Each structure stands twice: as C-alpha cells, then as structure tokens.
Amino acid sequence: MSRRLCACVAAVAIALVGCQATPTAPPALDLPPATAETSPDLERWWLLFDDPGLTALIDEALAHNLDLQAAIARVDLARANLLLAQSPLYPSANLAADVNRTRQTLVGSQPLPAGFNPLNDNARVGVRAAYEVDVWGRYRQGAEAARNELLASEYARASVRTAVAAETARIYFGLLAGDAEVDLLRATLRSRDETVELQTKLYRAGLIGDYDLQRAEAERASVAANLALAERTVGSYETALAAIVGRSPREVFAPQIERHVKEARLLGVPEVPPGLPADLLERRPDIRAAEARIAAASLRIDAARAQYFPSLALTASYGSESAALADLFTGPALAWGIAGAVLQPLIGLKAIEASVQAETARREAALVAYVQTVQTAFREARDALVANRTMHDALVAQGERAGRLEASLKLADLRYRAGYSGYIEVLDAQRQLLQAQTLQILAARDVRFALVDLARAMGGGWDYRADAAAR
C-alpha cells in the first residue's frame, strides 16, 4: 500500500512539475524616467519636412524595397508555420481505399486440398479519422509559440519599415547637401577662373609677380579637385537612392532622382518636441519583437516538457470491406472500428531532456537579446536627442561664421586693390569662406540627419497605437 501511495505521490509531483508554466513576460529593467511633455506623432514623420520629393521616394521605398519584401515573405512563412502548428489540435480524416490479393499455400500445416482456390481478394474503402487528445497542452503551447513567432516577424517587418524610411531620408538629405556643395563649388570655380584671368592680365602687364599668378592658379585647381569629389559623392547618393527604393538594375545603373529643394530650404528644418516619451518600449517594433520571441521561447519549453507525459490517441474508421468488388457497397460489407491508445515514453527520456535544455537555452538567449535591444533603444534615443539639440546650435554658429568671413573677404579684396596687402591675404579669405560655406551646408545636412535619427529612435514609421488596438 505504501508503495502505491509513493507511486501516486510521485506521479502527482511529476504532473505538477509538468504543469508549471514558464514565465512569458520580459524581465523588468531599470529604465530612465520620461522627460517629454508631449508624445509626438511620428507615424509618417517625413511629412514634417514638407518635401514632395522626399515623400514620393519614401512611399516608393515602402512599396518596392527588397529588404522589406523579404521581411514580408518571412511574415508569410511564420503565418504558414502557425497553421502547421495548429493542425494537431484538430482531428485528421482521410478517405482510404485499398485492394489486395494474397496466395495461400497451406491450411494450417497441411497442403491445400484439391480444388481449393489459393488466391484471396480483399477490397476496402472508407473514412479513417485520428485525434490525439492534448491533455498536457503540448500542441496548444506549440501553437501559441508559433503565434508569438508570427508576432515577432510582423514586428520585425515594422522594424525594417522604419529603417527603410529613415535610410531613404538620410540618403536623400545627403544628396541635397551634395547638390548644394556642387553648386557652391561650381560658382566658386567660376569666380576662381575670373581671378586667374585677371591675374594673368596683371602678370602680363608687369603689375604682379609670378608668385601671385601661381597661387591663383593653384587655388583654382584646388576648387576643381573638390568639385570632382563632390560630383562623385552626388553620383553615389543617386545610386544608393535608386537601390533602396527598389528600382531595376538598369535604373540603378542610370539613376534618375528628382529633387527640387534648394539650399535656402535645406537650411530650414522642422522642430520635434524634445524629451524621452514614456511609451518608448511600445513605440519601438524591435523591442516588441524581442518580447514576442521571449514568449515564444518560454512556450517552447513547456511544449518540450510535455513530452515526458503520456499521450492519448483516438482512432476511428467507417466503411466497407469485401472480398468481391460487387459486394463492397452492400449492407453486409459495412465495417467500422474505434480505438484508443495511451503511449507513455519509457526509453528516450534523455532526448526529451535535451530538447527541454535546448529550448531553455534559446529562452536565455532571447532574454539577453531583449536586454540588448532595450539598451540599444535608449542609447539611440539619447544620442538622437543630444544630436537634435546640438546640431541646431552648430548650424547657427556656422551661418554666423560664413557671414563674417564673407564680409572679411570683401575687406581683404579692398585692401589688396588699394595696395595695402598682398594677394595672399585675399586667397586666405577666399579659402576660409569656402570652407565655412561648405561646413554650413554640412551642418544643415546633419541637423536633418539628427531629426531623422530621432524619429527612428522614437519608433517612428509605423502606427504602434493601431497595432496595440488590433491585438
């Protein structure tokens, strides 16, 4: 009696262990406090720039980008895997038909009597059904794990969407800055050509020496070299844009990128409310994907653990069986059957243990990935907030520097024409002004880069509120 009692207690203990659910929630982390007074709506943040060219390119990228199409295919694959994981939860039924013939050589241990037909025919047709009762939740947990993996793939698609929109905008603004720099250098090169022409006339007239002429020609060559590099950069940006929006190889090789924004508009940028929103974890699709992967891994552990316990299988058949095809569908040929079976694993428990350990290790990896994802999210958010604040200051300072150097160049030119200073002073002022104007263009580009990075860091580019409502 005591042995039976101990066996029952052990069985109950094993069952209770098997029924323990692995936590599916992500771990609690020490998060920074929210500092944003308002929660910005960044679903289509690129509209803030009021640039039809940018909007058209991002819409084209979201429709045709190859990385996004691959992410959509992965969602379709996860959806198919969910249907596959749900299939054991329902009975399976098959229409079966078979015909067989056997030859008999003995009756018991005696030879066949004379006139005995040694051939036996048998025909069978009917419906066969099978169903395994999910007593321990193995298939339910597997299906729920597949559902969370589908969620993770959908959030991963949203992450690709936000990345594609942000990268398209960055390349576009880089292209605009490249255009502005090319325009600046072309105008500067025309000015240097005029200067070289003037200096050549003065040199031939004997009014200046060879030194001033050589310096003017060298400065002109320097601008021409910088112009070639700037044109190369513009070409690279055009190719990158054609590729990211998903155009054909022919269009990537010969890109046609329309843009109408001039330098004056490039220097103006929209404003986004500063501060860290309280719902950053909900805004970021990569964090949502990491949470879904933790839930899926936890459920996989429970599904693997359920293999320790017995399975209950039910089978049934209904149809006709006869030795003659003509009698197959008659009343006497009716045949049916029903059966149940319990299968308890005895050998191979180590394989089940290994499966549980493997799923546990995958969950630990998912937990680490979640912490890393959250850490990356707040690092990107802080970097974007700092850049968004400081780049505006840099743009203002570069604009002031360019204005003062432009005035300085005018004074240097007056001093040179009046004979109070040498031409080297004019060249130095020209060089500094060109550098300041170039840095002003790059500062305007970096301000826009900072705003793009801020929108991406805050999870901009998808409607997370609508997604939460749909769940």
Sequence-ordered list of residues with C-beta below 8 angstroms from that of 264, at least 6 positions apart, any chain:
none
Least confident of 11-20, 171-180, 198-207: 11-20
198 occurs within a structural domain = yes
To the nearest whole percent, how much of the chain has pLDDT over 70?
Answer: 85
pLDDT tens by residue, 388-413: 889 888 988 988 999 998 898 888 88
Number of domains in the chain: 1
| Average pLDDT for the chain | 84
**Could you tell me which residue, 242 or 19, shows the higher pLDDT?**
242
125 occurs within a structural domain = no
The pLDDT value given to residue 466: 73
Please name which of 132, 225, 237, 148 lies closest in space to residue 185, comparing C-alpha atoms: 225
pLDDT tens by residue, 91-100: 888 887 777 7
For the domain that residue 42 is a member of, what is the CATH number? 1.20.1600.10
Q: Does 123 score more than 70 pLDDT?
A: no
Label residue 369 by pLDDT band (50, 70, 90): very high
The pLDDT value given to residue 230: 92
DSSP for residue 275: S
The pLDDT value given to residue 321: 64
121 occurs within a structural domain = no
Q: Does 244 score more than 90 pLDDT?
A: yes
Q: Are 344 and 421 in contact (CB under 8 A)?
A: no
The pLDDT value given to residue 328: 56
159 occurs within a structural domain = yes
Q: Report in angstroms the alpha-carbon separations of 386 from 18, 170, 380, 393, 402.
A: 50, 18, 10, 11, 24
Domain that holds residue 373: 21-91+136-308+350-470
110 occurs within a structural domain = no
295 occurs within a structural domain = yes
**Nearest-10 Cα torsion for 37, 38, 44, 48:** -70
Q: Give the C-alpha separation, 445 to 439, whole Å.
A: 10
Alpha carbon distance, N-terminus to C-terminus of the chain = 53
pLDDT tens by residue, 441-459: 899 899 999 999 999 999 9
Least confident of 182-186, 216-220, 336-340, 346-350: 336-340
Q: Are 242 and 54 in contact (CB under 8 A)?
A: no
In sequence order, what E strands does 330-428 have?
334-343
To the nearest whole percent, how much of the chain has pLDDT over 90?
Answer: 37
Please name which of 100, 248, 75, 204 lies closest in space to residue 151, comparing C-alpha atoms: 75
Mean pLDDT computed over 286-309: 93
Sequence-ordered list of residues with C-beta below 8 angstroms from that of 73, at least 6 positions apart, any chain:
none
**Could you tell me which residue, 428 or 293, shows the higher pLDDT?**
293
Label residue 82 by pLDDT band (50, 70, 90): very high
327 occurs within a structural domain = no
39 occurs within a structural domain = yes
Least confident of 9-23, 24-38, 107-121, 452-466: 9-23
- pTM equals 0.83
51: which 2 tokens? 């640039």
